[in-house]
Structure formats: C-alpha cells, structure tokens
C-alpha cells in the first residue's frame, strides 16, 4: 500500500473499532464504572498498571482492586488508614502483589496531597510532541517516598528504552477524546498530539506487516519509529491508530 492507501485502510479500521463496543472486552471498562474525574483517573491508573496477560484476568483482578477500595478509589486513596491496607490479603495480579498495591496507594496519596495529582505532573514535564520524558519524571516522583525496590518494576521508564505500553495506554485513556465514548479526555491540559501508541506484541506485529516499524524489538526506539510514522498519517491524533493496530492483531489475526 502507498501512504494514502495505508491511511485510508487504517482510518476504516479506527472507525470499526473505536466505538462503545470496544469497551465490553477491554480493561478500559473499569474506569468507565465511575463518573468523577479523580475516581476515573485513579481506577484507570491502577487498571493500566496490571494490564498485561489475558484481558479477562486483567478485568477480573481490576474489579477485585476496586472492591478492595470500596468502589470509591479516590476516597479510599486519600482517607485510608494503615489497617485498611493491612486488611488487603492474597494475590492481586500475577507479579503485582499486595506489597506493590499498598505502596501504590501510599504513593498516589502523596501525589495528590503534595503534587496536585496525576495530571499536573504529566503536564509539568510534557514536551510539545511527546510525553515520554514526562513519564520518566513521573516515575521519579512516584518513587520519591520510601518504597520496596521490587515495586519499581511496575512503572516503566522510556528513557531506559522501554516502550512503556501500559502507561502510554493510560495516557490515551485520560487525554484522548473524539466523542466516541471510549477514551475519556478528562485531562484538558494535554493534547492527543503528544501521545504515543501503546506498543505491545500484537500492535508491533501488525505495525511491522504494514511497514510502520522496521526495528525487531518492541522498545522505545521502535515506539519512536511508530510514532513518527503515525504522526505522518494524523499529526493531531496519531494514537487513534492504536485501535486499528490492536483490532487487526487481536480480533482479525492480521
């Protein structure tokens, strides 16, 4: 396909998958349970953190996290007591265990009490056409309080050559809004043009077949290559093509 044919093909796939039906089988359904901005962004962040593996398990375990928090994630995060955290027992999701979860709640509380919340941190360090440096700075702030070393692995760092798939997906949820009812668009201080595609095995394989990536590894360098090519197709909303790449890979076995 030439560039115009590729754009036409991918635009059709975006239209096919970027609609409310997408929510039914996707972890984004968890933050869609809430209406308040803070509940959406806390539920979304915790859900995105465990978004690896089978989607049914991700959704089940994210619902378990919401139940732990009394289905009031912001209120629990801000007002919990130590005994509330200690009462949380058992596995959470694969290698994300109760120690990790307990620290995440404490760290999120620190972000909202001392850094004006999640959005303000990403907005502070955002670059004109990228949020990858902002993710790096966010990770430093997230772990500025005393923490278990093991828990650091649950937030990726693009400046250490990670594609940071889960946090890029989370940023899509919070920032992008094209009125289709999937992404929330509740972070008004940031633009969809700054977003990067959540690059994983499925989207990476499809992108390579379409000539959008040539690098073999799904790392930060591959993400930059993908971002550069997607911005040529739509500089204002390049990450909309995440729906096309994901849908082609997951639902169509492209």
Strand partners, 219: 162
- Residue 39: phi, psi to the nearest 5? -65, -40
Alpha-carbon distances, residue 199 vs 36, 116, 138, 168, 189 (angstroms): 29, 29, 19, 8, 24
Residue spans of the chain under pLDDT 70: none
Per-residue confidence (pLDDT) for residue 87, from 0 to 100: 86
Bridge partner list, 93: 96
Q: Could you tell me if 62 and 30 are in contact, meaning their C-beta atoms sit under 8 angstroms apart?
A: yes
Evaluate the CA torsion angle 153, 157, 160, 163 in order and state its sign.
positive
Alpha helices, DSSP H, located in 69-149: 73-79, 82-86, 98-114, 117-125, 132-142
Alpha carbon distance 17, 182 (integer Å): 10
Query: pTM here?
Result: 0.97
pLDDT value, residue 1? 86
Cα distances (angstroms) measured from residue 49 to each of 35, 53, 58: 20, 12, 10
Contact 244, 17 (CB under 8 A): yes
Instruction: Check residue 86 and give its pLDDT.
Output: 86
Distant-in-sequence contacts of 131-140, Cβ < 8 A, 24+ apart: 131/168, 131/171, 131/190, 131/194, 131/195, 131/196, 132/158, 132/159, 132/164, 132/196, 132/220, 132/223, 133/158, 133/159, 135/164, 135/167, 135/168, 135/171, 138/167
Virtual torsion, Cα 230, 234, 237, 238, nearest 10 deg: 0
Q: What is the pLDDT of residue 229?
A: 98
pLDDT, position 90: 79
The predicted pLDDT at position 34 comes to 98
For the four alpha carbons of 74, 49, 223 and 6, in that order, the dihedral sign comes to negative
| Alpha-carbon gap, residue 142 to 117, rounded angstroms | 11
């Amino acid at each position: 396909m030439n560039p115009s044919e590729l754009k036409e093909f991918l635009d059709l796939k975006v239209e096919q998958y970027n609609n409310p039906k997408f929510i039914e089988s996707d972890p984004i359904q968890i933050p869609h349970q809430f209406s308040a901005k803070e509940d959406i962004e806390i539920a979304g962040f915790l859900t995105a953190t465990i978004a690896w593996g089978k989607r049914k398990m991700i959704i089940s375990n994210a619902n378990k996290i919401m139940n732990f928090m009394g289905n009031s994630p912001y209120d629990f995060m801000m007002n919990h007591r130590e005994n509330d955290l200690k009462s949380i027992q058992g596995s959470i999701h694969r290698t994300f265990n109760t120690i990790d979860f307990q620290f995440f709640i404490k760290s999120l509380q620190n972000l909202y009490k001392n850094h004006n919340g999640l959005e303000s941190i990403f907005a502070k360090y955002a670059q004109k056409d990228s949020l990858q440096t902002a993710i790096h700075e966010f990770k430093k702030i997230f772990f500025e309080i005393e923490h278990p070393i093991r828990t650091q692995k649950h937030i990726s760092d693009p400046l250490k050559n990670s594609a940071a798939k889960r946090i890029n997906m989370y940023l899509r949820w919070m920032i992008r809004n094209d009125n289709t009812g999937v992404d929330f668009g509740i972070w008004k201080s940031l633009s969809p043009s700054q977003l990067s595609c959540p690059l994983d095995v499925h989207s990476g394989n499809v992108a390579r077949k379409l000539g959008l990536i040539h690098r073999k590894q799904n790392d930060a360098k591959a993400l930059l290559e993908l971002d550069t090519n997607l911005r040529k197709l739509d500089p204002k909303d390049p990450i909309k093509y995440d729906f096309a790449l994901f849908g082609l890979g997951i639902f169509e076995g492209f």
